[in-house]
Amino acid sequence: MKFIKWAMFLALILTVSTIIFYKPSRVLMPEMNGVNCATNSLCIDDVSRLEEAEALIAHAVIEMEDVLGPLKNYPKAVFCATQECFETFGFKQAAASAVGKSALVIGPRGWKPHYIKHEIVHYWQAENIGIIKMLLMDDWLIEGMAYALSDDPRPELEQPWQSYRTKFNEWYKTVDQDRLVLAIKRLE
């Protein structure tokens, strides 16, 4: 009995420590960061922009499912209209970020379809490839895929992102796009 109490205590300490020190884990309980969760899959810090956020995520999911096939789960999205909100989840520079299969966090610059679709690609990768395997795969595949398939409108990205997009596009032309997961797994 004593062991169980200690194990529960340690689990609680580990959970609290993770939420405090690894800010992206806060997507698991976004309300603690001052955002309102309108649904189980959409949270926002500025409820006056709720309809805009709903439309952005819905259209982005539909468009990416047309390209990648159905997602296994509808992604939770946390929309931050302020930089302060975005930073409470541990992000500063990016426009948006995917936190594995847990959620997408959209910063104030990220309220554009291509940024949200970019993060949905990463969410799809986490669902289909696995988070650990994503970390071990080449950046040209992980980031190049996200830049290429999200219809990023910039004709020229900064390096190395442009070379990743170019390499992915070249590779993508050579694979059966209906069997993308299999093609990616062959690269491992």
- Average the pLDDT over 62-81 and give the result: 96
Block residue for tokens 């930089």 = 83
Selected residue with higher pLDDT from 126 and 25: 126
pLDDT at position 25 over 70: no
132-167: pLDDT as tens digits? 999 999 999 999 999 999 999 999 999 999 999 999
Q: Which pTM was predicted? A: 0.86
Contacts of 4 (CB under 8 A, 6+ apart): none
Q: What is the pLDDT of residue 15?
A: 47
Q: What is the pLDDT of residue 21?
A: 44
Per DSSP, 109 falls in state: G
- Average the pLDDT over 25-29 and give the result: 60
d(CA 43, CA 45) in angstroms, rounded, equals: 7
- Are 149 and 114 a contacting pair, CB within 8 Å? no
Q: Assign residue 29 a region: left if phi > 0, alpha if psi is -120 to 50, beta otherwise?
A: beta
- Are 120 and 60 a contacting pair, CB within 8 Å? yes
Q: How confident is the model at residue 6 (pLDDT cuts 50, 70, 90)?
A: low
